[in-house]
Structure formats: structure tokens, C-alpha cells
Structure 1
Amino acid sequence: MPISSDRKKQFRQIGHNLKPIVMVAEKGLSEGLLGEIERALEDHELIKVKIAINDRESRKLAIAELCKLARAEVVQEIGKVALIFRAAREPNPKLSNIMR
């Protein structure tokens, strides 16, 4: 389900103060990296991911693949940082970036 523009604006405001949790290197997406992204999305719902790929098209493809595998949606892309969101099954108010 796509995120509404009002909700994206709210997520961008929250994401402004977040630091990247995960960094994707040139090697691409590994099992360990996907596991860490799954854990981070389940805990925090809204996370920043740094993509350390210099080529713009490759970076966009990596972000799209990451979101597809993690069943998440891109809220914003600025340079090499992507803000992604996926609602948690059981959100924890102490960990969620949305509920704080």
C-alpha cells in the first residue's frame, strides 16, 4: 500500500534527525545485511540506509531491490542515503521511530 503524501512528509520530518543504521556496500545485498534490515525495520519501522555505490543508476537499483526484498517503501532518497518504512507487526513504543 503506497504511503500518502501527508504521511511521507511526516516521515521525512522524523527521519531528518535519524542516523543511517545499515550501510550497503558495492558487493550488494547479502543474507546478513537483509537480516539486519529486517530486524531494524521490525524494531524501528522507519530507518535510514546508506548506499555506498557511486553509480547513480546502480544505487537506485540497489534501493529498489532492497525495498522489494524487505517489503518496505522508500520515503525519500537524498544522495547516498535512503529513508525507508515498513510497519511493524507488533510495534514497540520504546523502539519505534514513528511512535516516539
Structure 2
Amino acid sequence: MIMTSKQRAYLKGLAMNIDPIFQFGKNSLTPENTAAIAEALEKRELIKIHVLQNCADDPKAIAAIVAERTRSEVVQVIGKKIVLYKESKDHKKIELPKARKEAK
């Protein structure tokens, strides 16, 4: 699913009010982290991750890798905070604004 700018803006607004539920430190990204993030995305749809100062990896690179491995969308990366979204199959909580139909 490709997000529109309107949908991305809507999710950014929702993300302002949530706290990070994962942190990446010196171990950076591990298979266990990825599995836990995938599980959290299925339950919550929208999550925030904090990259600690002792993590040597770039937050944008981490966000891209996590999104690819969890089949989610990177909503935004600001400083050391990453926001991810993935529509849940079972626990649909967030109703995104509809994308406009393209003119024919």
C-alpha cells in the first residue's frame, strides 16, 4: 500500500500522542526486535521507536530495514524517533483518510 501525503499527515498527528514502545541501543536491530515489532504492529497498527545515543546505526537506515522486514510503512523519522504503520488484518483500529480517485 502506498500512502498518500494526506494519510501520512494524519498518522503523524496520531503519532504525536504515543510514546515509543521499542528502543534500539548498541545491539541495534536483531531478529528478536524485528519479530516483536511485527507483533506490535499487528496489534497497534501505529508504533514509535526510539534509537538511543549508543546505537551506531542511522535511524533512517534502521527505519527502512525494519519497514521492509515487517512489511510496514515508515510514516516519519525525526531525529532519533521512528514511526511505523501497518494495517492490521484482525485488529483494525485506525481508519485512514480515503485516497482520492485519479481522474481518467
TM-score bracket for this pair, using the shorter chain length: 0.7 to 0.9
Change in Cα spacing, 1:28 to 1:55, as seen in structure 2 (3 Å) is closer
Contact 1:53 1:59 in 2 (8 A): no
Instruction: Answer yes or no: is 1:4 the counterpart of 2:16.
Output: no
Instruction: Answer yes or no: is 1:15 the counterpart of 2:8.
Output: no
Deviations 1:1-36 (A, max 9, x none): 211111111111111100001111232211221121
Query: Number of paired residues?
Result: 95
Contact 2:26 2:55 in 1 (8 A): no
1:1-100 → structure 2 map (5 Å cutoff):
1-52=1-52, 58-91=58-91, 96=93, 98=94
What's the TM-score once normalised by structure 2's chain length? 0.80
User: Could you list the runs of 5+ residues in structure 2 that have no partner in the other structure?
Assistant: 96-104
Cα deviation, residue 60, structure 1: 1.7
Distance 1:54 1:6 in 2: 34
* Identity across the alignment (%): 27
Q: CA RMSD in A?
A: 2.0
Contact 1:49 1:82 in 2 (8 A): yes
What's the TM-score once normalised by structure 1's chain length? 0.83
Structure with more of its chain in helix, by fraction: 1
Aligned partner of 2:11: which letter? F
Contact 2:27 2:55 in 1 (8 A): no
